[in-house]
Chain A
Amino acid sequence: MTERRENAGERGSLLEARDLHVEFASRGRRARAVDGVNLAVGEGEIVALVGESGCGKTTLARTLLGLERPTSGSVLYGGAPLSYSSRALKAYRREVQLVLQDPTGSLNPRHTVYEAVAEGPRIHGMSDERDRVVSALARTGLRPPERFLHSYPHELSGGQRQRVVIAGALALDPRVLVADEPVASLDASVRGEILALLLRLRDELGLSALVVTHDLGLAWNIADRVAVMYLGRIVESGPVEQVLRSPTHPYTQALLSVLPESPSPVVLSGEPPDPTRIPGGCRFHPRCQVLAAGAAARAGVEGRCRSQPLAILPVSPFSADSHAACHYAGARLE
């Protein structure tokens, strides 16, 4: 694993999805949950993957973790494609770790904090188990760690539980954290603390992170780059400042416009669409406010919006450019 890291270069991508497709059978139909995604997380980079529920972001995260197998395309870690043999996967688990949304459900109620954090090191037969547990707990701000070792999850607050979950991941010394809505079920005041912890872990340990969320404020708070996902595809990606300050894709614009502080909300009608029935052309066109307002027609791209599919966005880590999969945005650039 170490050679691979060096080969990847200092500013290379650590974890990468390349033309990834994941399909499920859903009530007799094929659901294209992830339908062609390029995504990269660089060394020490925090990437936010933003989208509504059902857009495939959680499936994408699970596939990156090797918990789901892609239908086609590949997951690359340190430049090498992920192997799905159980031995290789187990080794991979030490490198890429998961933090789930619900810290209460993520901890076995019958296990103490010590057992929960030591689970990873035990599975991997690591020595110095106790030291690992204690230092992981201390790193996540549960101090003094000894005070928490024999507590049960129900004796802790929500924020403390999430710290225990993060400590459980850190005990394996991973290089990447994949966090699925890490603060969505936490109280408002605790939220910032957990996000600050992720930032601090990046600064102190060089930990990369892919944070899956529906919360653009979270992306603004901690991420370096953001990728906006809609119906199995990434529709816009780039540095946080660019994408969130001057979004070019109508979907990103709409998401930003419905934030409580925003002056003129564009509330898209309808439900998030169904991955078993992905519309032709631009997959966003049935809900697109730019198309509905006639702006696309004036720019002469309306026909393309309705019929011509868009190419999969290229994504490279640390890239300073943002990209949008939109005919209208493309036409305006030309």
Chain B
Amino acid sequence: MSLLRLRDVAVTYRVASGEVPAVRGVSLDLAAGQALGVAGESGSGKSTLAMALLRLLPRDARVTGEILLDGEDVLTMNWGRLRAVRWASASVVFQGAQHALNPVRRIEQQIAEPLLVHGMATPAEARRKVGELLEQVGLPAWRARSYPHELSGGQRQRVMIAMALACSPRLIIADEPTTALDVMIQAQVLALIRSLIAEHDISLIMISHDLSVLASMCDRLAVMYAGRVVESGPSGEVFRDARHPYSLALSAAFPTVGDPASRRAPKGLGGDPPDPMHLPTGCSFHPRCPVALPECAFQEVELWAAGESRTAACVHVRPESVQPAGPGEGLEKQSVPVARPAEESQ
């Protein structure tokens, strides 16, 4: 059974000049113990989606659809339940650890806070637990007495991970956990996350713009563009053999060192991410797409099957006969091409 189930999740921000659709109908499944990578550029809606999972978005954001965590809809929970879920079932590791920590409180106070608030430990137990958590994330226990500014960027990110682990969650949402960290520190933090989720059987949703990092960390990948999932599938396959031209461009953006094909040949994508208030018609990627067909400008796309448990929203993978739906891949077919990403099968 899936731990997290998203059905047609949409997030709209209300701003002075109108409504901005940031996420436009995303359906995803995450099995217990699985790691899912969500890739995309800034403005693709990936961080908004991550924040929506625990209702961490500001008030001017409207979330619709269903977000089922252990079968319970996060969007309709009352506040008390939501608070319990935020700590006990799922927790978030934010990007930019230096800003997410309170500069005037010691590390131990910050890690112990949820334990004490939820009455899960006495102060003495909490202190012991903090020491254990710090050791789990590779920091000496005496660091508990430190203030955030006394730690390096990598150490602060470790503290963030320790905080996320404090209440033994079943799901960790990591939003760009290693952006702004050095290569070596990034490798350390990634190795830490990898070993922790394996050890404690935690599910992981990791958000990043770096497809190569996601491919090395996650079982499955979902690539987002302009608020929608445009491709999903097993991570290795999506990374090495992308079906959607956008995923292809993302994976080519980070070259494999030593690969003659990318030597003196940086690959990018022309154009700029679309303005969410004025999305292109048809496939929203068509103005930047190197293999766009004339029909892409008006043809709505949806996630079509693109191989074994893979989907892609591109006319190049569209089956010959779109209309009759085959239940084989668990795809949701619709007679009217309302762009709504189909379910993924596990």
Q: Is the A/B pair a real complex?
A: yes
Which of B71-79, B120-128, B263-271, B336-344 is found at the contact surface with chain A? B263-271
User: A272 vs B152: C-alpha distance in the bound complex, in angstroms?
Assistant: 9
Given A157-B273, A217-B255, A260-B213, check contact A189 B41 (CB 8 Å). Answer: yes
Given the complex of chains A and B, what is the CA–CA distance between A196 and B265 in angstroms? 7
Residues of the B chain whose Cβ atoms lie less than 8 Å from the Cβ of A53: 182
- Assess whether A52 is in contact with B257, with CB atoms less than 8 Å apart: no
Task: Choose one: B182, B263, B268; the contact of A190 (CB below 8 Å).
Answer: B268
Q: Judging by beta carbons under 8 Å apart, are B265 and A221 in contact?
A: yes
Contact in complex: B268, A194 (CB < 8 Å): yes
CB of B198 closer than 8 Å to a CB of A: no
Cross-chain contact of B184 among A220, A244, A267 (Cβ < 8 A): A267
Name the contact of A52 in the complex, choosing from B182, B209, B211, B265 (C-beta under 8 A).
B182
Whether A191 and B266, one on each chain, are in contact in the complex, defined by CB atoms closer than 8 angstroms, is: yes
Q: Are B268 and A193 in contact (CB under 8 A)?
A: yes
Inside 8 A of A254's CB, which chain B residues have their CB?
Answer: 184
A214 adjacent to B264 (CB under 8 Å): no
Evaluate contact between A157 and B272: CB separation under 8 angstroms.
Answer: yes
- Answer whether residue A321 sits at the interface, using C-beta atoms and an 8 A cutoff: no
Most chain B CB inside 10 Å of its own CB: which residue of A188, A214, A222, A271: A188
Q: Number of A residues contacting the other chain (C-beta, 8 Å)?
A: 42
Whether A265 contacts B187 in the complex (CB less than 8 A), given A157-B273, A221-B262, A222-B266, comes out as yes
Q: Does B188 contact A (CB under 8 A)?
A: yes
**Overall SS of chain A's interface:** helix
Please state if A244 and B257 are interface contacts (CB–CB under 8 Å): yes
* Contact (A216, B257) CB under 8 Å given A261-B216, A271-B152: yes
Query: Provided the pairs A190-B268, A193-B268, A221-B266 are in contact, do residues A267 and B191 lie with their beta carbons within 8 angstroms?
Result: yes
Q: Which residues of B contact A196 (CB under 8 A)?
A: 266-268
| Contact between chains at A191 and B253 (CB < 8 Å) | yes
B48 sits at the interface (CB 8 A) = no
Contact-size category for B: 35 or more
- Residue on B with the closest CB to A196? B266
Interface pair A187/B187, CB less than 8 Å apart? no
Check if B95 is an interface residue, CB within 8 A of chain A.
Answer: no
B53 CB–A CB distance under 8 Å: no
Q: Which of B209, B211, B270 contacts A187 (CB 8 A)?
A: B209
Q: Does B101 contact A (CB under 8 A)?
A: no
* In the bound complex, CA of A215 to CA of B262 (Å): 14
In the complex the two chains form, what is the Cα distance from A52 to B258 in whole Å? 21
Interface: A269 (CB within 8 A): yes
| Contact yes or no, A192 B266, CB < 8 A | yes
Complex contacts, B210 vs chain A, CB 8 Å: 188, 260
Instruction: Specify which chain B residues have a CB less than 8 angstroms from the CB of A199 in the assembled complex.
Output: 264, 266
Contact check, A188 vs B211: say whether CB atoms are below 8 A apart. Answer: yes
Query: Once bound together, how far apart are the Cα atoms of A255 and B183, in whole Å?
Result: 7
Contacting pair B250 A188 (CB below 8 A): yes
Residue of A nearest to B210 (CB): A188
Interface residues of A in 185-228 (CB under 8 A from B): 187-196, 199, 214-217, 219-222
A190 in contact with B269 given A221-B262, A260-B216, A271-B154 (CB within 8 Å): yes
Q: Measured between alpha carbons, how far is A78 from B184 in the docked complex, in Å?
A: 36
Provided the pairs A52-B182, A160-B272 are in contact, do residues A217 and B254 lie with their beta carbons within 8 angstroms? Answer: yes
Cβ distance A227 to chain B, nearest Cβ, rounded Å: 16
Q: Which residues of B contact A268 (CB under 8 A)?
A: 184
* A-chain residues with CB within 8 Å of residue B334 when the two chains form the complex: none
- Which A residues are CB-close (under 8 A) to B263? 220-221, 240-241
Q: Is the CB of A193 within 8 A of B212?
A: no
Chain B positions within 8 Å of A240 at CB level: 263
> Which residues of B273-304 are within 8 A (CB) of A?
273, 288
Contact B257 A256 (CB under 8 A): yes
For the complex formed, measure the closest distance between the CB of A219 and the CB atoms of chain B, giving whole angstroms. 8
- Pairs across A and B, CB under 8 Å, 22 listed: A53-B182, A158-B42, A187-B42, A188-B209, A188-B253, A189-B253, A189-B273, A190-B268, A190-B269, A190-B272, A199-B266, A217-B256, A221-B255, A221-B265, A244-B257, A245-B258, A255-B184, A265-B191, A267-B184, A267-B187, A271-B154, A272-B182
For the complex with contacts A189-B250, A272-B182, 8 further pairs of A-B residues with Cβ separation under 8 Å are A192-B266, A219-B257, A220-B258, A244-B257, A259-B257, A260-B212, A271-B152, A271-B155
A-B CB proximity, top 4 nearest: A192-B268, A193-B268, A258-B187, A195-B266
